[in-house]
């Protein structure tokens, strides 16, 4: 972050289609970022072979995932970023399994402090299941002391065939407002860091329940 002037957002596109409806939502947001001079890096991972976490705990010593693939590339960018967007098509009321595998490993293996990095999840479907997938993705943020960015509706957009989401005018507006809110929140947090400082942190307390 040292020497960087602009705020930065990492965007993970969990769709297997580079130019699908999930990209329509992301593109609507990046236009807002361009307007506000916010840097962003997009990772298209839905068409990649990303295995899930195997609980080997090698990351405890390595400081990164033992499987050296795009997850570690994302982690390096995420460490230096002010915000993270995770976007996905919805399958069976859930996020794309490739994205889930990526996020499980990303959040578990990256040991840097994520406090006050802002997070936003975006979901896309033909019809239903969006709320469940939206809640699923937000849990990665809420366990990491990351403020969750909202819009004037749940962060969702609708479309079936590639590109159909451009006809969802309400969904596109939701994405624009989401991006504007994200820019504002990142600006406020950066200002707060300078004028107030970060929240005091306690050492993590672990409680185990045995039955």
Confidence of residue 211 (pLDDT cuts 50, 70, 90): low
Identify the H or E element spanning 183. Answer: helix 169-195
Map tokens 């590109």 to a residue: 163
Residue 3 has pLDDT above 70, yes or no: no
Give every CB contact of residue 47 below 8 A, 6+ residues apart in sequence.
16, 17, 18
Identify the H or E element spanning 74. Answer: helix 70-79
Indicate the pTM of the whole model. Answer: 0.94
In a domain, 65, yes or no: yes
**Looking at residue 210, what is its pLDDT?**
74
In a domain, 201, yes or no: no
In a domain, 14, yes or no: yes
In a domain, 200, yes or no: no
* Rg value, the chain, Cα: 17
pLDDT in tens, 96-133: 999 999 999 999 999 999 999 999 999 999 999 999 99
Residues of the domain holding 41: 8-195
**Looking at residue 209, what is its pLDDT?**
81
**Looking at residue 204, what is its pLDDT?**
87
Q: Domain total for the chain?
A: 1
pLDDT in tens, 142-183: 999 999 999 999 999 999 999 999 999 999 999 999 999 999
How long a stretch of residues is the chain? 211
In a domain, 207, yes or no: no
Give the CATH number, domain containing residue 90.
Answer: 3.40.50.360
In a domain, 62, yes or no: yes
In a domain, 2, yes or no: no
CA distance 107 to 11: 15
E strands, the chain, in order: 8-13, 39-44, 83-91, 94-95, 118-125, 156-158
In a domain, 35, yes or no: yes
């Amino acid at each position: 972050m040292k020497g960087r002037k602009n705020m930065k957002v990492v965007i993970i596109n969990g769709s297997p289609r580079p130019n699908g409806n999930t990209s329509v939502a992301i593109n609507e947001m990046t236009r807002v970022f361009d307007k506000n001079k916010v840097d962003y890096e997009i990772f298209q991972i839905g068409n990649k072979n990303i295995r899930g976490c195997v609980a080997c705990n090698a990351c405890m010593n390595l400081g990164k995932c033992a499987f050296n693939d795009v997850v570690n590339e994302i982690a390096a960018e995420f460490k230096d970023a002010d915000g993270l967007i995770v976007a996905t098509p919805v399958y069976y009321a859930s996020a794309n399994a490739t994205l889930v595998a990526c996020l499980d490993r990303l959040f578990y293996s990256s040991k840097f402090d994520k406090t006050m990095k802002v997070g936003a999840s975006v979901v896309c479907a033909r019809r239903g299941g969006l709320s469940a997938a939206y809640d699923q993705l937000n849990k990665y943020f809420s366990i990491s002391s990351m403020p969750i960015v909202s819009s004037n509706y749940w962060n969702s957009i609708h479309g079936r065939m590639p590109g159909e989401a451009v006809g969802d005018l309400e969904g596109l507006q939701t994405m624009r407002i989401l991006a504007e809110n994200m820019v504002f929140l990142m600006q406020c947090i950066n200002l707060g860091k300078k004028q107030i400082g970060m929240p005091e942190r306690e050492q993590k307390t672990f409680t185990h329940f045995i039955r």
